[in-house]
Amino acid sequence: MAKFLNTSATNYYLEELIKNAQDKLILISPFLKLNDRIKELLEDKNRLKIDVRIVYGKSELQPEEINWLKELTFVRTSFCKNLHAKCYINEESCIITSLNLYEFSQVNNNEMGIFVSRADDEEIYRDAVDEAQRIIRISDEIRISLEKVKPSEELANAVEKTEQTEEPAADKLSSSKLAKQLGLKTGDFLDKCIELGYLTLADDKHQLTDQGKVAGGEFKFSKRFGAYFIWPSNLSVG
C-alpha cells in the first residue's frame, strides 16, 4: 500500500529513492536549485552511469547549477513550461509530494506526500511513470553548455541564438542579421537601439517601445528560446 509521508519522511524516502536507483532516475521539480547532498547523490549516480532525467519548469538557472551540470555525462535536463508537479521515480518506487528539490532537507517546511512501491501498487506506480514520461516528451531537452559571461554578452548571445532558429519576414531581419549587415555585434546593435529609444531594458530583458514600433520593429516569441525582435532591412542606427 502507498505510504503517507510528512516532511521528515519525504526527505528520508527521497534520499533513499535516489540512492537505490540502479537503472533509471526521474526527478520532476519546478525549481532546479540543488543543495550539496542532492548533488553528491547525483554525482554518484553519474559515476555509476545511471540514466538520470531532470525536468524543471523555472528558467532562472544559476551559474553554479549550469557549471555543475556540465560535468555530468549521464544527467539530462529538460525544461517544461507551466510545470508544477513534483514527482521522483526510480525503477522500483516513486514519490509524489509537495516538496521541491531545492527544499530538500528543509525540515522546517510543512510538506506532504505519498510513497508508492512498484511491488505493492504496480498500477499506481505505472500511472505515475506514464505521466512522468509524458511530461518528458512535451519538454524541451536542454544541453547545458553555457559559460559564465558578462550580463550584456549573455543577453546578446541569447538573442542571437533565438534569432538563428527563426525565419523573419522577407523584408525584415532579425537583430543579429541586421547587426551583421551593419558591421556590428548583436550586443552593440541592441545598445544602439536602446540609445535611439527603440528598445528599453528592464530586469535584463529588452522591450520594444512605441518608437521602436514606429521604426518598424516587431516583437516575436519562440516557444523554446523566448523573445526576440525583427527590423526593417534598411533600418539605420548610425
Average the pLDDT over each of 131-140, 142-151, 174-183 and give the range with the smallest value.
142-151
Per-residue pLDDT of 33-48, as tens digits, reads: 788 888 999 999 999 9
- Which among 134, 135, 115 is positioned nearest to 125, based on CA atoms? 115
Side chain identity at residue 185, one-letter code: K
Cell triple for residue 225? 528560446
HSE value, Cβ hemisphere, 13 Å, CA-based, for 36: 0
Q: Given pLDDT bands bounded at 50, 70 and 90, which one contains residue 152?
A: very low
Q: Is the pLDDT of residue 111 over 70?
A: yes
Higher pLDDT, 158 or 58: 58
Q: Is the pLDDT of residue 158 over 80?
A: no
**pLDDT-derived band at 119, boundaries 50, 70, 90:** very high
Name, in order, each residue with C-beta under 8 angstroms of 209's C-beta and a sequence gap of 6 or more.
197, 198, 199, 200
What the chain holds in terms of domains, given with CATH numbers, is 3-142 (3.30.870.10), 151-232 (no CATH)
Tell me, what's the pLDDT at 202? 74
Q: What is the DSSP string of 155-215?
A: HHHHHHHHHTT----TTEEEHHHHHHHTT--HHHHHHHHHHTTSEEEETTEEEE-HHHHHT
Please report the pLDDT score of residue 204 as a whole number.
65
Question: Is the pLDDT confidence value at 153 over 70?
Answer: no
Q: Is residue 60 predicted with pLDDT exceeding 70?
A: no
SS3 per residue for 68-126: HHHCCCCEEEEECCCCCCCEEEECCEEEEECCCHHHCCCCCCCCCEEEEECCCCHHHHH
Residue 229 DSSP SS3: strand
Per-residue pLDDT of 218-227, as tens digits, reads 988 665 545 6
CA atoms within a 13 Å half-sphere pointing along the CA-CB vector of 61: 22
Which single residue is written with the C-alpha cell 540514466? 51
- Would the pLDDT of 199 be above 60? yes
pLDDT level of residue 147 (50, 70, 90 thresholds):
very low
pLDDT for the residue 34: 82
Q: Is the pTM of this model over 0.75?
A: no
H/E stretch holding 41: helix 36-47
pLDDT band at 207 (very low <50, low <70, confident <90, very high): confident
